Structures are given as structure tokens and as C-alpha cells.
């Protein structure tokens, strides 16, 4: 509360164009007292609160920041609710519910820029022509750009501004206005000036200070260091590696896919590049076992690797990569019932209850049929088909039964 009243007195005084001396004269206190209130070093006497509130024509609740505390609680509750909704795989339903929550908050808190940027993003997620009529989607999207522009024109929080600029860039990409997208992209800081890199630099100094304080310069001395303290110091390094490895992976995969598609690299070079990318991802996951458990990145790696080996006629290596792909599907902890979606012939998405385990089986079978059946030699020699490989058949059986790999 002290933080709010200090900030509020300063904000209200400046809105009136008053100096600290002028406010002090009105309230019959010293200018030094007003200065201490605004710095949070001291607080007004409780008997002065009604006079201060009346002078600024606000309620004592507003003066004390009680409205801000209530707003903060509402935003926290909204985030918890939308996090809960996000676990529902019924995409249209969760997008609509999320939009309703943030729409109400945005209406009630027009100058809360964190709420406004989240609301704008909720509109974009909901307004997907795949789930709602294109005309309705366009009407929703038309509301987004003014919100982002209002944020950039009024918000002073760098983090919120960066979020708005990032999403504006994506919005202009979706509108195919690439020059405008580049204009906004150039307003973002370079990667080396990110929060992760700043903490990385702090960690370098923290590690150096620890080594100097504990005489840990030599290898034999480092073995005696407090492992928990060192692990804590190293966390920013791990965060930076994880973030950049993930971002690099996404950009790198698109780059090398395009290069091989346009004949700028050979399949042999493509495989080497895939292996380098996978090594970087594994390095970033040293202390993040949940990434291995989800297997999303590694499933993609093995499917790409298999396709490359098929193009090279290296069927044995292709089968090995494909089997690892299936193993990841087997180990993937997908077992609960979810609301899934199938695309109908009319181009609409139709919901039906299916299990994630069933989706894994469908994905694994599709991988074998759609990718490996394209190879002429595989079509002529069914015994070499991945679909007929004993290990693959056993893996699919485990997958259907929901057993761990």
C-alpha cells in the first residue's frame, strides 16, 4: 500500500501542475514532508488522508491504491483462469472463453497496458478464419492495430512495448505488409541486448566474485566448491542457452529446409546440419528433462532425418530414424481424453472425443505410409517397409495399449 500512496500523491500533484512546496502549503505541512511521502520514506498522518483525497477530488481508496490492488488481484485471477482454459484442447471454445475474460478486463482497465496488450493478443488468437467466418474474423482483427498503436503511444513499460511491437510485426506479416513489418521489427532491441543476455553478463561477474572469495581458481579447488551455490549462479547461463537454442532451432530448421528444397545444399549436408541442430537442442535441455519427455523437437528431428535418408536411398538409416520417431511417440505421456478436431470435407473443423494416445498412433502410422511409401523401392519390396518392421509393429502395439516405452 505504501508504494501506491507514494506514487499516487506524486502522480496527482503533477497532474495538477503543483510543486511539492505548493502542495505542502495547501495541506499546511512542510515541503520536506511531501518529499518524504513521495519517496516512500514516510506516510501522511491518517487524519490528513481525507483532506488530501478531497483536494485531488478522488476517494481515499484511490489515494491509497486500493483500486490498484483490486485490479491486480483481478488480473492475477484472469491469468490463472486462462492458464486453466489453455489446457483444454477444444481450440475454438478456449479461445472464445479467453477473449471474453480479457475483453471485460480491457473495458474496465483502459489504461492498464498489460491488460490491453493481452486483450489484443486474445483477439488475434480467437479471430482465426478456420474457426469463425472470415468476415467476423476480419472485423475482430480490425480492432487490434489501434490497440497496439495506443499502447505504443502511451505505455512507458519497455517490456509491454516490446510485446506490442513483436505482435504488431506478426500482424503486419499476416496482412502481407512486409515493409511495415520490417519497420516495427527494427524497433525491437537486438538479441544481444535481451534480458537473458543481461543476466548472463551478471552471472559471469557473480561466478568470478565467488571464485575470488572462495579461492576457486584452480580445478582441484573448484571441486570443493558449494555445488548448490554454483548451480544457482549458473542458472542464467542455462536460461540463455535454452532460449537461444530454441529460437535458433526454429530459424535454423526453416533455413535448412528451404536450402535443401531449392537445391542450395545436398541431402548429405542437410543431414549434417540436422545433427548439429539436434546437438544444440540436447545441450540446452541438460537440466530440462520435460523437453525430452514431451519429445516435440526430437520427433521433428527424426522425421526430417528419415526423409533425408529416404531421398538418399539409405533405407537402413531411414528405418533407424523412423523407429526412433515411433519410440518418441511411445514414450510421449499422452493418455488423457481430450477434445480433438478433424478437418471435414467442407473445410470446417469438427470436434470429436479422441485420445492423445490415438493421435500418436495415427501420427506414427501416417508417417510410415505417407513418407516411406513414396519411395519406389519401398513400394516394390513390402518386406522393407517400415510399417512391416517388427520393432515398428511392436512399438505401435505399445502405443495403442498406452504402455510406457
Say what the pLDDT of residue 199 is: 87
**What's the first-to-final CA gap in the chain, in angstroms?**
54
Say what the pLDDT of residue 162 is: 93
Distance CA 49, CA 64 (A): 9
The segments of the chain whose pLDDT lies below 70 read 1-3, 66-67, 69, 86-91, 246, 283-297, 326-327, 329-405
Same domain, 55 and 114: no
Long-range Cβ contacts of 297-302 (<8 Å, 24+ apart): 297/249, 298/328, 299/325, 299/328, 299/329, 299/332, 300/253, 301/274, 301/277, 302/328
Same domain, 94 and 161: yes
Report if residue 338 sits inside a domain. yes
Distance CA 179, CA 328 (A): 41
Residue 51: partners with Cβ closer than 8 Å, 6 or more residues away: 27
Report if residue 279 sits inside a domain. no
Other Cβ atoms less than 10 A from the Cβ of 79: the count is: 14
Distance CA 266, CA 3 (A): 62
Same domain, 97 and 177: yes
Say what the pLDDT of residue 54 is: 87
Report if residue 303 sits inside a domain. no
Distance CA 371, CA 304 (A): 10
Angle at 191 between CA 188 and CA 192, to 5 degrees: 125
Report CA-CA distances (Å) from 272 to 269, 278, 279, 313. 5, 10, 11, 17
At 56, which CATH number? 1.10.260.40
Say what the pLDDT of residue 166 is: 93
Report if residue 249 sits inside a domain. no
Same domain, 320 and 397: yes
Same domain, 317 and 362: yes
Which helix (H) or strand (E) element contains residue 340? strand 337-343
Same domain, 30 and 94: no
Q: Using the 3D structure, point to which of 149, 164, 188 is the last residue of a domain.
A: 188
Domain that holds residue 179: 89-188
Q: Using the 3D structure, point to which of 48, 64, 80 is the last residue of a domain.
A: 64
Report if residue 32 sits inside a domain. yes
The single residue listed with the C-alpha cell 540436422 is 274
Question: Which residues is 342 bridged to in the sheet?
Answer: 350
**Maximum pairwise Cα distance, the chain:** 98
Annotate 255-299 with DSSP letters as a single string.
HHHHHHHTTSS-HHHHHHHHHHHHHHHHHHTTT-HHHHHH-HHHH
Report if residue 8 sits inside a domain. yes
C-alpha grid cell, residue 8: 499516487
CB 389 within 8 A of CB 319: yes
Other Cβ atoms less than 10 A from the Cβ of 149: the count is: 12
Q: Using the 3D structure, point to which of 160, 188, 216 is the last residue of a domain.
A: 188
Same domain, 104 and 177: yes
Same domain, 52 and 104: no
Report if residue 250 sits inside a domain. no
Same domain, 39 and 103: no
CB 313 within 8 A of CB 377: yes
Report if residue 225 sits inside a domain. no
Question: Which residues is 377 bridged to in the sheet?
Answer: none
CA-based R_g, the chain, Å: 29
Report CA-CA distances (Å) from 101 to 85, 106, 143. 11, 9, 17
Distance CA 286, CA 217 (A): 25
- Residue 338, helix vs strand vs coil: strand
Residue 180: partners with Cβ closer than 8 Å, 6 or more residues away: 172
Distance CA 396, CA 376 (A): 24
Count: domains in the chain: 3
Amino acid at each position: 500500500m505504501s508504494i501506491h500512496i507514494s506514487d499516487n500523491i506524486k502522480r496527482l500533484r503533477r497532474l495538477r501542475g503543483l510543486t511539492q512546496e505548493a502542495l505542502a502549503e495547501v495541506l499546511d505541512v512542510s515541503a520536506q514532508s511531501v518529499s518524504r511521502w513521495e519517496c516512500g520514506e514516510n506516510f501522511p498522518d491518517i487524519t490528513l488522508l481525507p483532506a488530501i483525497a478531497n483536494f485531488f477530488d478522488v476517494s481515499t481508496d484511490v489515494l491509497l491504491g486500493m483500486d490498484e490492488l483490486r485490479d491486480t488481484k483481478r488480473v492475477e485471477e484472469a491469468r490463472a483462469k486462462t492458464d486453466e482454459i489453455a489446457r483444454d484442447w477444444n481450440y475454438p471454445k478456449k479461445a472464445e472463453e479467453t477473449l471474453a475474460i480479457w475483453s471485460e478486463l480491457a473495458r474496465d482497465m483502459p489504461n492498464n497496458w498489460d491488460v490491453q496488450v493481452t486483450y489484443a493478443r486474445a483477439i488475434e488468437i480467437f479471430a482465426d478464419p478456420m474457426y469463425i467466418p472470415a468476415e467476423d474474423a476480419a472485423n475482430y482483427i480490425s480492432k487490434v492495430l489501434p490497440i497496439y498503436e495506443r499502447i505504443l503511444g502511451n505505455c512507458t513499460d519497455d517490456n509491454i512495448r516490446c510485446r506490442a511491437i513483436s505482435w504488431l510485426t506478426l500482424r503486419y506479416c499476416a496482412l502481407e505488409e512486409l515493409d511495415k513489418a520490417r519497420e516495427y521489427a527494427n524497433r525491437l532491441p537486438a538479441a544481444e541486448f535481451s534480458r537473458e543476455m543481461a543476466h548472463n553478463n551478471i552471472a559471469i561477474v557473480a561466478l568470478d566474485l565467488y571464485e575470488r572469495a572462495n579461492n576457486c581458481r584452480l580445478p582441484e579447488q573448484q571441486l570443493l566448491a558449494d555445488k548448490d551455490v554454483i548451480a544457482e549462479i549458473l542458472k542464467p547461463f542455462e536460461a540463455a542457452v535454452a532460449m537461444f537454442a530454441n529460437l535458433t532451432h526454429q530459424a535454423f530448421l526453416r533455413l535448412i529446409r528451404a536450402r535443401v528444397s531449392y537445391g542450395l545444399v545436398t541431402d548429405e549436408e542437410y543431414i549434417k546440419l540436422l545433427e548439429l541442430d539436434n546437438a544444440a537442442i540436447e545441450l540446452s535441455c541438460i537440466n530440462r528433462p520435460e523437453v525430452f519427455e514431451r519429445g516435440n523437437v526430437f520427433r521433428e528431428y527424426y522425421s526430417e532425418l528419415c526423409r533425408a535418408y529416404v531421398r538418399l536411398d539409405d533405407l537402413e538409416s531411414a528405418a533407424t530414424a523412423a523407429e526412433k520417431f515411433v519410440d518418441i511417440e511411445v514414450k510421449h505421456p499422452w493418455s488423457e481424453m481430450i477434445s480433438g478436431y478433424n478437418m471435414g470435407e467442407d473445410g470446417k473443423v469438427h470436434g470429436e472425443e479422441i485420445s492423445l494416445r490415438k493421435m500418436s498412433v495415427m501420427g506414427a502410422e501416417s508417417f510410415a505410409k505417407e513418407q516411406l511409401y513414396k519411395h519406389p523401392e519401398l513400394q516394390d519390396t513390402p518386406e522393407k517397409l517400415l510399417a512391416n518392421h517388427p520393432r515398428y509393429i511392436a512399438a505401435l502395439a505399445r502405443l495403442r495399449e498406452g504402455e510406457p516405452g
